[in-house]
Amino acid sequence: MQSVILVIQLIVAIAIVAVVLVQPAEDAGFVGGSGSMSNLGATRSKGDALSRITGYLGAIFFITSLALALMAEHHGKAQSILDVNTGPAAVTQTAPQKAAPPAATAPAKKQAEKQKKPSAPISK
């Protein structure tokens, strides 16, 4: 459904650009000043076909944008490509680990070294 609305929005956007480019320039706006004197007394036709089509296409574009935003909000958390499981887990073989020496032998060695050394220095 989201793909269909996205395609509709793309077509409507291209149509808006085409319709706006086809419309005749009625006024120069900020760039050209007030326009020519021949247009001064002419009434403006706001209801011509191209402006109505532009309005309808703008409304459709607005509705499709809202629909896409609502769908994206309720879609859920996006997953990364790296998080997706694509098949059975790969089996990895590891080398056997050497057994660690027992914990009791390390303190025993320290006690034996303490017994060999005199606790006080021998004076001559």
Q: What pLDDT was estimated at residue 55?
A: 94
CA distance readout (Å), 115 to 66, 78, 108, 109, 124 = 83, 66, 11, 10, 22
Mean pLDDT of 92-120: 64
Domain parsing of the chain, residue ranges: 1-24+47-75
Q: Please give the full DSSP string across 37-103, using - where no structure is assigned.
A: GGGSSPPP-TT-HHHHHHHHHHHHHHHHHHHHHHHHHSS-PPPPGGGS--SSPPP---PPPPPPPPT
89 — phi, psi (to 5°)? -65, 140
Mean pLDDT of 72-86: 72
Task: Report helix angle 2-22 to 49-73, nearest 10.
Answer: 150
Write the pLDDT tens digit of every residue in 15-47.
999 999 988 876 555 555 555 555 555 555 555
Measured distance CA(101)–CA(107) in Å, rounded: 12
- State which of 66-70, 92-96, 100-104, 113-117 shows the largest mean pLDDT: 66-70
Under DSSP, the state recorded for 87 is S
Measured distance CA(14)–CA(123) in Å, rounded: 102
Q: What is the CA radius of gyration of the chain?
A: 41
Q: What pLDDT was estimated at residue 15?
A: 96
